[in-house]
């Protein structure tokens, strides 16, 4: 019987392979890029909410550095972009300042800033998404949640980065007010996690490179980098974002992400 089975398999295998191969051939680079983005989003569905203590280390080209401390609360929103609340602890003069963001896939995000000294909630014109976040190399739009609809995609190639096989995919922002003409992301084929993203400015020149380190898995499913560094290729400045501790499904709800919650954020 054995030889027969082998024969069967050896007959079928090339057929199957050719099927798979032709399928890949039929898929355009755009379709494959979109499929990768969808899979990346799908694998990260259902995380619920998170809370984390974060540090941002801002470095100048001359090696001076300063630390920002903040707490970040996030809420997954199905059928729309996620909600985020960031409360600043350091530097001390902005302690208690809180930033509320409702991301949307296609519409501009809704954003508010709470200024504790004045007890005032100020709306932010969110079209200005390309502006720097707290003097860092991260722009406001880099802090927004990843939504499939935000970009047009093109699969470029497979590449090995740090020993892992990656998809290299080009993202072109749909929003014409984005600060970027395109982004190129390296996404690992095993878990669809971004490891490196190149940001190109509106003139098409390389502006920034984001590198993610120390991915950790939560709830046996969701991967989060413990460290991410944004390096500005044009100025030599960089910002390192460090996650000190992160907890999932802490019971946050919509009411923790409204303007009232901003005012009592501490």
Partner 1 sequence: MKYYVLGLGLLASQAGATMEVTGSAGLEQRYFLQDALYDGQERGQLSMFVAPELYTEFNEGYDSLLFKGYARIDQRDSERSHVDIRELLWLHVGDDWELRTGISKVFWGQTESLHLVDVINQTDAVEAVDLEDKLGQPMVNLSLIRDWGTTSFFVLPYFRERTFAGMDGRLRPALTVDTDNPLYESSDEEKHVDWAVRWQHTLGDWDVGLSYFDGTAREPELVLQDNDGQPVLRPYYGQMQQTGLDVLAVMGSWLLKFEGIHRNTRDGDYMAAVGGFEYTQVGVFDSVYDLGFLMEYQYDERDELAPVPSQNDLMVGTRIAFNDIDGTTVLIGYVQDLDHSDSYTGFVEASSRISDNVKWRLDAWLFSGDTATDPLYGIRRDDFVQLSLEYFF
The whole-angstrom separation of Cα 92 and Cα 136 is 17
Note the Cα 128 to chain centre separation in Å: 19
Q: How far apart are the first and last CA of the chain?
A: 73
| The binder of partner 1 chosen from 46, 132, 204, 236 (CB under 8 A) | 132
Is residue 35 within 8 A of residue 26, CB to CB? The reply is no
Q: Does 28 bind partner 1 (CB under 8 A)?
A: no
Region of 27-35, 38-46, 93-101, 165-173 interacting with partner 1 (CB under 8 A): 93-101
Site for partner 1 in 138-177 (CB under 8 A): 177
What is the maximum alpha-carbon separation in the chain? 84
Is residue 182 within 8 A of residue 33, CB to CB? The reply is no
The whole-angstrom separation of Cα 201 and Cα 181 is 6
Three-point CA angle 138, 142, 144, nearest 5°: 135
Nearest distance, CB of residue 68 and partner 1, angstroms? 9
The whole-angstrom separation of Cα 134 and Cα 99 is 10
Nearest distance, CB of residue 169 and partner 1, angstroms? 26
| The binder of partner 1 chosen from 32, 71, 95, 152 (CB under 8 A) | 95
| The binder of partner 1 chosen from 101, 126, 145, 211 (CB under 8 A) | 126
Is residue 51 within 8 A of residue 70, CB to CB? The reply is no
| The binder of partner 1 chosen from 18, 28, 60, 247 (CB under 8 A) | 60
Site for partner 1 in 166-225 (CB under 8 A): 177, 179
Region of 38-46, 129-137, 180-188, 210-218 interacting with partner 1 (CB under 8 A): 129-137
Determine whether 191 is exposed, middle or buried from the number of CB atoms within 10 Å of its CB (0-12, 13-18, 19+).
middle
Q: How far is CA 143 from CA 3, 161, 164, 185, 199, in A?
A: 59, 24, 26, 16, 14
Q: Does 55 bind partner 1 (CB under 8 A)?
A: no
| The binder of partner 1 chosen from 14, 135, 204, 236 (CB under 8 A) | 135
Nearest distance, CB of residue 226 and partner 1, angstroms? 23
Nearer to partner 1, 9 or 123 (CB): 123
Q: Does 264 bind partner 1 (CB under 8 A)?
A: yes
Binding site for partner 1 (CB under 8 A): 58, 60, 64, 66-67, 90-95, 108, 110, 118-120, 123, 125-128, 130-132, 134-135, 177, 179, 255, 258-260, 264, 266
């Amino acid at each position: 019987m054995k030889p027969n089975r082998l024969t069967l398999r050896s007959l079928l295998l090339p057929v199957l392979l050719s099927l798979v191969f032709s399928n890949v051939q039929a898929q355009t680079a755009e379709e494959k890029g979109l499929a990768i983005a969808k899979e990346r989003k799908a694998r990260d569905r259902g995380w619920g909410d998170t809370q984390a203590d974060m540090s941002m280390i801002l470095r100048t080209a001359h090696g001076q550095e300063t630390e920002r401390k903040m707490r970040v609360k996030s809420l997954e929103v199905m059928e729309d972009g996620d909600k985020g609340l960031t409360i600043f602890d350091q530097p001390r003069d902005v302690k208690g300042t809180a930033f509320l963001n409702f991301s949307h896939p296609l519409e501009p995000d809704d954003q508010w800033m709470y200024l504790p000294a004045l007890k005032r909630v100020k709306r932010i014109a969110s079209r200005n998404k390309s502006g720097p976040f707290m003097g860092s190399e991260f722009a406001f739009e880099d802090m927004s949640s990843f939504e499939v609809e935000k970009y047009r995609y093109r699969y470029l190639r497979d590449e090995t980065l740090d020993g892992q096989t990656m998809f290299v995919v080009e993202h072109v922002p749909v929003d014409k007010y984005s600060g970027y003409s395109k982004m190129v992301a390296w996404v690992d084929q095993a878990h669809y996690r971004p490891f490196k993203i190149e940001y190109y400015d509106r003139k098409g020149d390389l502006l920034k490179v984001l590198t993610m380190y120390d991915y950790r898995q939560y709830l046996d499913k969701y991967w989060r980098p413990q460290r991410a560094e944004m390096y500005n290729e044009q100025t030599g400045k960089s910002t390192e974002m460090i996650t000190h501790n992160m907890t999932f499904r802490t019971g946050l709800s919509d009411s923790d992400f409204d303007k009232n919650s901003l005012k009592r954020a501490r």
